[in-house]
Structure 1
Amino acid sequence: MSMEQALMKLSALLIAALLSISSAAAFAHSGGTDSKGCHRNHKTNDYHCH
């Protein structure tokens, strides 16, 4: 394997790792959901579904 191929492989792995981490953070929030997949934000009194 050439040095260029190794760097391309490493770059692809780093990009995949960063996308995985940022995707998980985007969907996470505190608070449970009801049977419909919804919940109420008690600070704003907003009810929304995911």
Structure 2
Amino acid sequence: MKKLSAALISTVIALSSAVAVAHSGGTDSKGCHTNHSTGEYHCH
């Protein structure tokens, strides 16, 4: 039972961390940049 719980917790953590996706692109002095494909200017 402990092995099953550990496996389930590990799977949930692994899948939830996959949601955060990084993208390339340098940032300016404010930590912001323009997404050239959409024209959107945003900060991180």
Which consecutive residues of structure 2, in runs of 5 or more, have no partner in the other structure? Answer: none
Q: Normalising to structure 1: TM-score of the pair?
A: 0.62
Percent identical pairs in the alignment equals 55
**Secondary structure at the counterpart of residue 20 of structure 2:** helix
- In the alignment, does 2:3 pair up with 1:9? no
Which structure shows the bigger proportion of residues in helix conformation?
1
Relative to structure 1, is the Cα distance of residues 43 and 7 closer, same or farther in structure 2, using a 3 angstrom cutoff? closer
Runs of 4+ residues over 3 Å off in structure 1: none
Q: Which of structures 1 and 2 has the larger relative contact order (alpha carbons within 8 angstroms, sep 6+)?
A: 2
Q: Normalising to structure 2: TM-score of the pair?
A: 0.66
The higher radius of gyration belongs to: 1
**Root mean square deviation, CA, Å:** 1.7
Which consecutive residues of structure 1, in runs of 5 or more, have no partner in the other structure? Answer: none
